[in-house]
Structure 1
């Protein structure tokens, strides 16, 4: 079964690192990679609300810069011919990044987005760039994997999956963590940050569902006490040198969920670990 993966790029070092990570992670899989650059023409005054048209100087200059950047990426990829089951498609689009991503995801039936955590213009102390957080929040139709700029691909040993067991997961919503665990033979470490209270009946049932879904995979349950979710994940990942964090991004509650903006920042500072945002597919 062919996998369709979208790789947004702004031609930064971090974006190229994310492309390399994606290629290595899916090295044994048949994949179509769509490398997207969303460009816009700077120089138009915002108050004029004018949108440059094809043929106009600013538009054509921006378009040429985008296409030249993608050509350079394609040239670099041509030296990576060790994976003949990979195909690459370059997409240059005049649009905002989020709208361009939504468009390509819809038109090409993309199954996963893999992108860097920082853009070319982000400040050095911003771990997850605003674009990455925006895509994680708003691109609801497929999961997003964010690759920190210092993350170097190595064979995955374990994926940390934090949960409070309060959500009744559907198997299809966990398909990507299951797939990544299978293709890399990684273990899934299910982590619960507890305040000391026993799990209630619903939580126990949801825990049993996870056992069903992860059957046939290597997995284990872990509990850390008297730590908030953010600190629990950070301590766990640091102490075990885990390779990836997967979390469930609940609809309408990204910043209130287990993986909040402060947590993104604290994780990013202490761990050079890719993050897989799975999405609530229910209305």
Structure 2
């Protein structure tokens, strides 16, 4: 049985991400852990009141969050009627990234699903949001970021962008292989060719990736390099009508470079497709 952590702020955007998670698991038994952090709200409020009153405020916040959880569970259970999916709720006063990281380390969590919001969807991922903190700090579980405009349906075409800088462990590909097994989408592996990388190195890394994928069918697409790698990827995603982008996160990865550079203006192409970040650390 899969166990998925889904943070929520009880917004429509967060609900869309939750619904997307259930569609991925429509034929599977699963347990979804709904998580809400009231750390920001509580810290802002307690800074303006006496310490002695903080316990009362904490209890009030807990009651409000529980009411929100009750409403959320009623809605999602109605929308997933007939599916073998259970829901549990957790609330915390800790920062969301710390709490989920602890949950991933202490309990078996297969992956994290989180909504993103903003004018360009995944733009928020690269602007120091909750999502990017989770992607960077969670070491043991993949993170699936769902833009608010994403279609709530299983993927039909997956683009897996790899830089071939380091081998990808077979266990790091487990979730991708599971999605392929469940939904049988087309898998398009892409690499933006860099002349600085020896051909022998790229070839060996590609063979290692194919071996790690096992019997999963895929096609390989070599993309010509340019000054803006995100623009090349943008064009390819549009050309193939991809509905899920997969990247790996390690210290020298393409994704890590996006975290470090001001490329927000070039990320509009991500606005409607989910991003799955596999862990390879």
TM-score range, shorter chain: 0.7 to 0.9
Q: CA deviation at 1:125?
A: 5.9
Q: Supply the distance in 1 between the matched residues of 2:254 and 2:194 (Cα, whole angstroms).
A: 22
TM-score, normalization: structure 2?
0.87
2:22·2:80 contact (CA, 8 Å) conserved in 1? no
Deviations 1:198-254 (A, max 9, x none): 752222111001111223222010011133331121111111110101101004768
Greater shift after overlay, 3-12 or 174-183?
Answer: 174-183
Pair 1:43 & 2:42 matched: no
1:3, CA displacement in angstroms?
0.6
Secondary structure of residue in 1 paired with 2:45: coil
Aligned to 2:175: 176
Q: Distance in 2 between matches of 1:184 and 1:221?
A: 20
Structure 1 residues 236 and 252, CA gap change in structure 2 (3 angstroms):
closer
In structure 2, the partner of 1:204 is: 203
Q: Distance in 1 between matches of 2:63 and 2:214?
A: 50
Superposition RMSD in Å:
2.6
2 CA distance for matches of 1:51 and 1:215? Answer: 60
**Per-residue displacement from partner, 1:34-65 (whole Å, max 9, x unpaired)?**
0111113131228x996976xx2211121112
Instruction: Give unmatched runs, 5+ long, in structure 2.
Output: none
Distance (whole Å) between structure 2 residues aligned to residue 50 and residue 247 of structure 1: 45
The Cα shift of 1:258 comes to 6.4
Judging changes above 3 Å, is the alpha-carbon distance between structure 1 residues 241 and 125 closer, same or farther for their aligned structure 2 residues?
closer
> Residue 162 of structure 2 contacts residue 190 of structure 2 at CA under 8 Å; is this kept in 1?
yes
Contact 1:230–1:259 (CA under 8 A) maintained in structure 2: no
**1:10 counterpart SS class:** coil
Contact 2:19 2:76 in 1 (8 A): no
Aligned residue number for residue 164 of structure 1: 163
Kept in 2, the 8 Å contact 1:128–1:268? The answer is no
* Structure 2 counterpart of 1:14: 13
TM-score (norm 1): 0.86
2:167 and 2:210 mapped to 1: Cα distance? 13
User: How many Å apart are 1:106 and its aligned residue?
Assistant: 2.8
Determine whether 1:91 maps to 2:90: yes
**In structure 1, C-alpha distance between the alignment counterparts of 2:65 and 2:180, rounded to whole Å:** 35
1:1-283 correspondence to structure 2 within 5 Å = 2-40=1-39, 41=42, 42-45=44-47, 56-118=55-117, 124=119, 127-128=123-124, 130-195=129-194, 199-227=198-226, 228-251=228-251, 256-257=256-257, 262=262, 266-281=266-281
User: Which structure carries more helix by proportion?
Assistant: 2
C-alpha distance in 1 between matches for 2:70 and 2:201: 53
Q: Is the 8 A contact 1:142 1:279 kept in 2?
A: yes
Aligned residue pairs: how many? Answer: 273
**Alignment gaps of 5+ in structure 1:** none
Relative to structure 1, is the Cα distance of residues 82 and 192 closer, same or farther in structure 2, using a 3 angstrom cutoff? Answer: same
